[in-house]
A and B are shown apart, each in its own frame.
Chain A
Amino acid sequence: MNNTEITRQKAIQRYVRAIDKGDLEEIINILEQATTDPDLDLMLIEANQAVEQEEGLTAFAKDTAFVRQLVQQHFNSNIMSDEPDARPLTIGEVAARMQADRNVPKSDQAIHKTLLHFSTPLPEFLNIQAIRKLASELQISASEKFWRIFRDTAIMMGIGRGQAQMAAARKQKARKSGTGRTDSGNKK
């Protein structure tokens, strides 16, 4: 196990402890860490599921999903906007988001689990034909409904990632010009 993996393991242990204690501040810290580490993000999702299944803490798991969304919304666009994720979206990231959103059709859950580990980048022009071609090339058989949700999720993530980068560029520009204005993107 290398240093990065050890750090992730420790983060997961801290995360589970924080869930036990209801320590929202620590949960936010770790979720923040996960916004730049997709592997940690996946591990957190799995940890959430495990906690939920073993202890029936559905309501709390929903809370963490909500916190995750808040962290993404606020940290990506403001606090962490200097280093937004500029990599192309991957199949695994979209699958992880579907899981976090609890948006995986029951009949496709097995195939979805395998997709979580795919680091294949998505096609740049994300139409349904490109998704079908990708599925055929990777020999993945899932329902039409699954691929529709997958594509919708990927499009929303793509918009979000672009917006995060644009917000970061605006913030950097404001800093350079010395105005200190941090436009989050909302026109008043």
Chain B
Amino acid sequence: MEHAADPDLVRDAKRGDEAAFTSLLRPLLEPAYRLAAGMLQDRQLAEDAVQEAAVKAWQKIHRLREGTAMRPWFFGIVANQCRTTRRGRWWSVLKTGAEQRGAESPDEEAVRGIDLRNALKRLRPEQRLVVVLYFYLDLPLEEIATITKASFAAVRGRLYRGIRELKADFPITEVQA
């Protein structure tokens, strides 16, 4: 589980110290961007979402309670921003619709990649969020539960359902170590 944010930095940030806030934020931007990219599957949208989330975090920093870890709190804001982005840009549903395989037969690995990407897109947003946090950001389920404000059981259920939906669309090859 993530450690609590530096209390001195949090206190200074709450007083309006931008440098303290950016110190808290800096180590989180790279994984936050990966989270947004995984959710939105679009670099520009991901960049915008993280920037927007950072501004919202600044506006809400007074709500960060003492002893609370910064990472799940900020990732929760990023996840919400991704949802807002998806809702606001309705046309992106068309844009991010399932990719077609090319007329020419690509190699098997490329096909599997397209299939998996399409399967990820088809996941419900709450399932995709859990899948991205667990498999792409390698976060523990406890922290994912904090980020998603869901119970441990709900997160576990979403993850299993997400995996099952991915498996239904994408045959996973058992790889021997």
Q: Do A and B come from one complex?
A: no
B-side residues, CB < 8 A to A, are none
- A residues near B (Cβ < 8 Å) are none
